[in-house]
C-alpha cells in the first residue's frame, strides 16, 4: 500500500467522519503500516478495521444504555448474598438475567418484602445484568416517575411520555408503595401499567404485596385492574427477611461479643478473688459456684 499513489489522509478522515466510523478513523493508519509491513491481503486489512468498528460500536452502545439506565451504583449480583434470602432461587434469578423468555413477552417481576430486605439491590443487579446482555433498562423511584408523568399530563403530553418509555425493555419501579396521596389521585401510574401490559416488562419493588395498594390508585376498581394486569404474567419473589442492614449490624456486634464477655468474666473473677482473699475464701468460692449455677448468669452478663 505504501507504494500506492499518495492517499489524501485528510480527505479520508473527512469521509470516515461522514460515514460515522470513528474507530476506523482512529486506527486505519496504524493498521495500514502493520498491513504493509506484514503483507496482509487487502481483505484482511478491511476485515480487521471493520471488526474494530463493530466492537467499538457495541462498547459505546452498552455505555449509553448503562448511563441511561440510572442504576444505583455498586449493586451487583456478585455483591448480593443469596443466603440471606433462602426463599429465592439463585438459579432462577440467573436465568431471568438473560432476559430471554420474559422480556420479549412483556412479563413482569415483582419483589415484595419489608424494608432492608434487598429488593432494590436485587432489582438493580438484575437491571445491570440485563443491560450487559444488551437489553435496555430504566431504574427509577416510582414517585419520581409518577411526578414526571403528572407534569406531562398537565402539558397534554402524557401519551408521548409513555411512548418514550417504550424503548426500555424493562422499567424498574422502585418502591411502589411510597407514592404520595396527591400522586395517587391521578391515574398516570395506572395508564403506565396499562400501556406496558403484555408488551413491555415492568419490575416492581414494594413493601406490601397488594394489601396497601388502595392508597396508590384513585379508586378500588383501578387498584384491582392495575394489580390484575401486573400479575397476569409475573414472577413474584416474596423477600420476607429481616433487614440486611440490621442483620449485618447485629452480626458485627455479636462477632465482638465473645472477647468482651471473656474479658468481663476475667475481670469479674479477678475482682472476686481479690475480695475473697480480703474476706473469707470459702464463702467466695461458694458464691462463685452459685454464680455459675444461676441460669440468669449469662443473661445478667449480657445486660450489664
Ligand atoms: P430494600 O430495597 O428491600 O429496602 P435494599 O436493597 O435497599 O433493601 O437493601 C438495604 C442495604 O442492604 C443495601 O445496602 C443493600 O445493598 C444491602 N443488602 C440487602 N440485602 C442484601 C443481600 N442479600 N446481599 C448483600 N447486600 C444486601
Ligand atoms: Mg428499596
Distance 179 CA to ligand 1 centre (A): 21
3-state class of 303 per DSSP? helix
In ligand 1, the atom with minimum distance to the C-alpha of 124 is 6
- Report CA(120)–ligand 2 centroid distance (Å): 4
Which pLDDT does position 151 carry in this prediction? 96
Residue 112 Cβ contacting ligand 1 at under 6 Å? no
Return the closest-CA partner of residue 110 out of 228, 235, 222: 235
Helix (H, G, I), strand (E, B) or coil at 110: strand
Q: Which pLDDT belongs to residue 212?
A: 80
pLDDT score of 275: 66
Mean pLDDT by 10 residues, the chain (304 residues): 65 95 95 95 96 96 97 97 95 94 96 95 98 96 96 96 97 92 88 96 92 86 92 93 79 54 66 63 36 32 28
What torsion, rounded to 10 degrees, do the Cα atoms 69, 72, 74, 75 define? -90
Read off the pTM.
Answer: 0.77
Sequence-ordered list of residues with C-beta below 8 angstroms from that of 190, at least 6 positions apart, any chain:
217, 218, 222, 225, 226
Can you tell me which atom of ligand 1 is nearest the CA of 245? 12
Closest CA to 205 of 91, 300, 116: 116
pLDDT of residue 280: 46
Q: Does domain 72-240+281-303 have CATH number 3.40.50.300?
A: yes
Q: In this predicted structure, what is the pLDDT of residue 282?
A: 37
The pLDDT value given to residue 54: 97
Q: Which of 141, 244, 247 most suits a substitution to test ligand 1, by most atoms within 8 Å of the C-beta?
A: 244
Angle between helices 188-196 and 220-232 (to 10 degrees): 30
Structural domain boundaries in the chain: 9-68, 72-240+281-303
Angle at 182 between CA 199 and CA 157, to 5 degrees: 45
Neighbouring C-beta atoms of residue 105, cutoff 10 Å: 13
First to last CA, the chain: 86
pLDDT confidence of residue 184: 82
* Per-residue model confidence (pLDDT) at position 295: 35
pLDDT of residue 49: 97
| Per-residue confidence (pLDDT) for residue 278, from 0 to 100 | 57
| Residue closest to 87 by CA, chosen among 207, 204, 210, 237 | 237
Contact residues for 247 (Cβ-Cβ < 8 A; gap 6+) = 84, 241
Please report the pLDDT score of residue 159 as a whole number.
96
Distance 245 CA to ligand 1 centre (A): 7
Residue 276: the pLDDT is 63
| Residue of 119, 121, 124, 174 to test ligand 1 pocket, by largest number of atoms within 8 Å of CB | 121
Name residue 236's beta-bridge partners: 110
Amino acid at each position: 500500500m505504501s507504494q500506492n499513489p499518495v492517499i489524501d489522509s485528510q480527505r479520508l478522515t473527512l469521509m470516515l467522519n461522514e460515514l460515522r466510523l470513528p474507530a476506523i478513523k482512529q486506527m486505519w493508519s496504524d493498521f495500514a503500516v502493520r498491513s504493509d509491513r506484514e503483507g496482509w491481503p487487502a481483505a484482511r486489512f478491511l476485515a480487521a478495521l471493520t471488526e474494530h468498528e463493530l466492537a467499538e460500536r457495541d462498547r459505546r452502545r452498552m455505555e449509553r444504555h448503562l448511563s441511561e439506565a440510572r442504576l444505583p451504583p455498586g449493586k451487583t449480583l456478585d455483591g448480593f448474598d443469596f443466603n440471606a434470602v433462602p426463599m429465592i432461587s439463585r438459579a432462577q434469578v440467573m436465568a431471568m438475567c438473560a432476559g430471554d423468555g420474559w422480556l420479549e413477552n412483556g412479563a413482569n417481576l415483582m419483589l415484595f418484602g419489608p424494608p432492608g430486605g434487598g429488593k432494590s439491590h436485587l432489582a438493580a443487579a438484575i437491571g445491570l445484568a440485563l443491560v450487559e446482555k444488551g437489553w435496555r433498562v430504566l431504574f427509577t423511584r416510582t414517585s419520581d416517575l409518577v411526578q414526571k408523568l403528572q407534569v406531562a399530563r398537565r402539558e397534554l403530553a402524557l401519551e408521548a411520555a409513555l411512548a418514550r418509555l417504550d424503548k426500555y425493555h424493562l422499567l424498574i419501579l422502585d418502591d411502589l408503595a411510597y407514592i404520595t396521596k396527591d400522586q395517587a389521585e391521578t391515574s398516570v401510574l395506572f395508564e403506565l401499567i396499562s400501556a406496558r401490559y403484555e408488551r413491555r416488562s415492568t419490575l416492581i419493588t414494594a413493601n406490601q404485596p397488594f394489601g396497601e395498594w388502595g392508597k396508590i390508585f384513585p379508586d378500588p376498581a383501578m387498584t384491582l385492574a392495575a394489580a390484575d394486569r401486573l400479575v397476569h404474567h409475573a414472577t413474584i419473589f416474596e423477600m420476607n427477611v429481616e433487614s440486611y442492614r440490621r442483620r449485618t449490624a447485629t452480626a458485627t456486634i455479636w462477632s465482638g461479643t465473645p472477647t468482651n464477655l471473656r474479658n468481663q468474666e476475667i475481670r469479674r473473677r479477678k475482682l472476686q478473688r481479690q475480695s475473697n482473699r480480703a474476706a473469707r475464701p470459702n464463702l467466695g468460692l461458694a458464691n462463685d459456684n452459685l454464680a455459675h449455677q444461676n441460669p440468669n448468669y449469662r443473661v445478667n452478663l449480657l445486660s450489664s
